[in-house]
Amino acid sequence: PVFSVKIENTHACKRYCGVSITGISVKPSPQWLQDRLRAIGQRPINNIVDITNFILHDSGQPLHAFDAQKIAGNAVIVKNLPAGTSFKTLDGKDRSLHAEDLMICDGNEKGMCIAGVFGGAESGVTANTTDIFLESAWFNPIDIRKTSFKHGLRTDAATRFEKNIDISNTVNVLKRAALLIAELAGGEIAGDIIEVYPNPKNKTEITVKYHYLKKLSGKNYHPDTVRKILVSLGFEVMKDGIDDVRVLVPFSKPDVELPADVVEEIMRIDGLDNVEIPGSITISPSMEADGHKQVVTEKTAAYLAGLGFNEILTNSITNKAYYDQDDLQGAVTLLNNLSADHNIMRPSMMETGLEAVAYNLNRKNNDIRFFDFGKTYHVSEGGEYFEKKKLCLYISGNIAADSWKGKSPAVDLYYIKGVMARILQLIGIQKFNWEAGSDARLGTTLVVKINGQPVMAAGAVGNKDLNRFDIRQPVFYADIEWDQLISFVAKDGVRFRELPKQLPVQRDLAVVVDKGVEYGALEQSVKKLKLQKLQRMQLFDVFENEKLGKDKKSLAVNFMFLDEQKTLTDPEIDEMMQQLITAFSKDLQAEIRR
């Protein structure tokens, strides 16, 4: 049969060639061909498919074979079909086409193949095929890449086309493949090669100045050396002047578009080892405006590592399905995502960390302490994109390994609170407040505020998120606004002072309060007094009993006093203790437990 070829979308397909081969016999490939394909990780299928795969990996030019008897009207039309058109591919799946998808159609304008990406189920070569139409074409790299990713079809052909191929080589490769098919499949080439090349491409012309070559490469090349290298690579020298050289780039190098690309080709052939290292290097010293931030970050990471934490690096691109609709408000969605499972820039780091937690739990690593320095990504209502630097902690399992002395306790909210408090102390932040908060995904949370701004939040991950990642044990999570926290760190470095010569004095006090009163309320009451000699207060016991009264509890607190100038006397200490008792009675209606 005589075939006709028509290209409707000449932007996406600049050149299309084809040839008809009749009387073939589809059978297993000879052993030498099978061995070569297996050597590069390819699975032999049959002689026709194996030949196209062999030619693809040998020359870089993808080919496609159609069953000639299934091409209606003996016509091949390269065009785009309407969006939503259903097309069944070789894997048996029905795919809904996009308007940008380039298709190879028959005379009835019915799709036979997604151009440069994947073949169709109804036009492919089968064991009963006797006549084929062999295709060799050049497709636009951008169009092929978009189609490949939209449909999740990362084929060998698509990866070659999207990197751009040699447009001048389509006919040569087609001839070689046709002769090989005639030899191995017993076919006969039925006619001349059909070629449609409406707008032949001109070779790219580039001018490289010799002073630019020296500046970029660091070496003074002789013009004869430059000319010899470029000619050996297939470049055509149009002008060889004193100051520059003008060349035409061969079609086999579609990536060479700029003078810098030509310089790279020259250096690659001459050898990077031949570039002499200068005896002296002149540089301008840089000033670190935010050097203290890196110091604080490294200091915190070292502390967490010493505490038994492992640092993880999670992907900033994640799955949109992890987030509720409220979470996606202001999220950054990818327009050209790499895969269906990675389609959004994360608005929260909890989900990507839970992936790592689930991965470890599935491998019987049940005691987990992870930390991750990363970023979340957002877009404002005005369309402005911005990032937030975060430090996140993920804790699950036991605090330590079990030993012969006994079992280790499980981690809880107080453990992660202790870690957060130690981080604040480590980086030199002393003025902060603990408050109870609420979060849709963590439930009741502990919130750290500095100057009224929340900088830390911690809580137990909710069952909804745990079930999403198939996690069957509690996980505690802390979200730290790192950039915001560092902004409160003093930039004047470490200050040293002499250790106090006096010894601290400690007093204990047990107060009876309502069950609803939290320990934080006692801290707030003490802060109002502004006792300069009170160094520390710490809760060491909570007691509940009916003898205390209905809905009452006892909080036992240790107070440490220190005067760095002199030894504190009992009357001075008693006076401060009395101020504490008065404050508790007034603010919390507390009673002193005798």
Whole-angstrom CA distances from 487 to 6, 395, 493 are 65, 26, 14
Residues 474 and 510 in one domain: no
DSSP 286-298: ---SSHHHHHHHH
494 belongs to a structural domain: no
Residues 465 and 586 in one domain: no
457 belongs to a structural domain: yes
- Give pLDDT < 70 ranges for the chain: 491-494
Output the pLDDT for position 139: 95
Q: In the listed set 486, 517, 549, which residue is the last one of a domain according to the structure?
A: 486
For residue 560, the enclosing domain spans 505-592
Residues 429 and 360 in one domain: yes
218 belongs to a structural domain: yes
Residues 270 and 412 in one domain: no
Q: How far is CA 146 from the centre of its chain?
A: 19
431 belongs to a structural domain: yes
Residues 214 and 168 in one domain: no
Q: In the listed set 274, 305, 320, which residue is the last one of a domain according to the structure?
A: 274
**Whole-angstrom distance, CA of residue 337 vs CA of residue 152:** 10
**Whole-angstrom distance, CA of residue 119 vs CA of residue 103:** 10
Residues 297 and 249 in one domain: no
Output the pLDDT for position 68: 93
Q: In the listed set 486, 515, 548, which residue is the last one of a domain according to the structure?
A: 486
Whole-angstrom CA distances from 442 to 101, 119, 432, 447, 576 are 44, 48, 22, 12, 40
458 belongs to a structural domain: yes
Other Cβ atoms less than 10 A from the Cβ of 422: the count is 14
DSSP 302-368: HHHHHTT-EE----SEE-GGGS-TTTTTT-EE-SS-SBTTB-EE-S-SHHHHHHHHHHHHTTT--SE
Residues 31 and 168 in one domain: yes
Domain count, the chain: 4
451 belongs to a structural domain: yes
For residue 199 the two structure tokens come to 């707008």
For residue 325 the two structure tokens come to 């609709």
Residues 175 and 211 in one domain: no
Output the pLDDT for position 138: 95
CATH of the domain at 419: 3.30.930.10
- Report the percentage of the chain scoring pLDDT > 90: 69
Residues 215 and 139 in one domain: no
Output the pLDDT for position 363: 92
Output the pLDDT for position 496: 76
CATH of the domain at 252: 3.30.56.10
CATH of the domain at 58: 3.50.40.10
Residues 233 and 155 in one domain: no
313 belongs to a structural domain: yes
Pairing relationship of beta strands 188-189 and 13-22 according to DSSP bridges: antiparallel
Whole-angstrom CA distances from 591 to 51, 355, 554, 584 are 92, 49, 9, 8
Of 583, 592, 507, residue with least CA distance to 552: 592
Residues 39 and 188 in one domain: yes
Output the pLDDT for position 406: 84
If you ran DSSP here, which 8-state letter would residue 81 be given?
A: P
- Residue type for position 444: T
Q: Are 168 and 202 in contact (CB under 8 A)?
A: no
559 belongs to a structural domain: yes
Q: Is 0.85 topped by the overall pTM?
A: no
Residues 319 and 403 in one domain: yes
